[in-house]
Amino acid sequence: MQNLDDWLADRRETFKAAGQGRVASFERAAEALPVYLAALELTDAGPMSGSPLSANVLREVRLGDGSVAVLKLIGEPQLAEAATLAAWTAHQVPCAPLLDHGVGALAPDVTHLLLGKVPGAGLPHTQMAAATKQAVQLFRRAHMTPPADVAPFHDFLGPRLQKAVQIWRESGLPSPDRALQVLTDLDTEPVLLHGDAVGLNLLKSKDGLALIDPAGVCGPAEFDAARWVARCLTVAGPDALNGLTETALSADPLLQQRRFDACVALELVIEVRHRITSPHIFLNVGAPAQTFATDTRLLAEEATHRLVAAIN
């Protein structure tokens, strides 16, 4: 196991090129780690894999009874993820169960989550499409009356769409201005969402799928399935959209197709933005290099078409 000090030093190197806010968040979490390990009487068992650009500190730990858990430290006050996991844990939704949490309990501006460790491994992008039915059915179980402290859908997605519209304009694509109107028009009774439906945020084991790392957001029930389908297209390609849509809607008959299509459009606007600014990320997870530019254009056209349909 890598020495804790060496691991923290490596993580600091990763963040040298990151924005100052992210660096500061990581530093607060890293400095607080020994304090939380001692106060919660946890034995550090090593780092957990996660996004290399995440500013969170994520460690596998052992509790006093010898069971394995996960300690997640976030270098800023954050209530939404804990609120989501607490609701799922109480309703027995398959997820990383919340054992303990707090904001500023032992260090100013540091949020801690102590989670039961869930068996299994995240789904790579290449396996997402095949798991669509199972994933959508799990999202349905997770949709419930939202607790306090989760973010409203517009506040969560609005800034991302505004940035995406700007990137589209700068790249020469027809501006998807209708995206912001569609977002406003998605007026429905909100449910608790995962909010970041991608394969690596689901753990697959012999017992099925379990949810981890929720975004802490509420909104239309169609969004989780729509985001999943849109992200499947990274590897599956634009031609798979209709088949994946049919699979998702049949997996959860309570989803309304018009709202689902609108949510797919919004997610494609964001996905195209990321394809423009960070093509290497898509290529690294299995996007076909030879058709990448063509696929990006086709996805942009699909997003624009669906935005028009959503308004008319």
Reading the chain (312 residues) residue by residue, the pLDDT tens digits are 557 777 777 777 766 655 555 778 888 998 999 999 999 999 999 887 666 667 889 999 999 999 999 999 999 999 999 999 999 999 999 999 999 999 999 999 999 999 999 999 999 999 999 999 999 999 999 999 999 999 999 999 999 999 999 999 999 998 888 899 999 988 789 999 999 999 999 999 998 999 999 999 999 999 999 999 999 999 999 999 999 999 999 999 999 999 999 999 999 999 999 999 999 999 999 999 999 999 999 999 999 999 999 887
Are the C-beta atoms of residues 61 and 45 closer than 8 Å to each other?
yes
CB distance 205 to 117 below 8 Å: no
A 10 A CB-CB count for 309 gives: 14
In CATH, the number for domain 125-311 is 3.90.1200.10
Secondary structure of residue 109 in the 3-state scheme: coil
Domain 4-117 CATH (choose: 4.10.860, 3.30.200, 3.30.460, 3.30.160): 3.30.200
pTM for the structure as a whole: 0.92
H-type alpha helices, 51-152: 80-90, 125-128, 132-142
Residue ranges of E strands in 48-197: 57-62, 68-74, 98-103, 111-116, 121-122, 151-152, 191-193
Q: Where along the chain do the CATH 3.90.1200.10 domains lie?
A: 125-311
Distance CA 57, CA 70 (A): 10
Q: Which residues make beta-bridge pairs with 164?
A: none
112 in helix, strand or coil?
strand
Distance (Å, rounded) from C-alpha 12 to C-alpha 21?
A: 13
* 245-280 residues labelled b (16+ CB within 10 A) or e (exposed): bebbbebbeebeeebbbbbbbbbbbbbbbbbbeeee
**Numbered ranges of CATH 3.30.200 in the chain:** 4-117
Q: Residue 195: left if φ>0, alpha if ψ -120 to 50, beta else—which one?
A: left
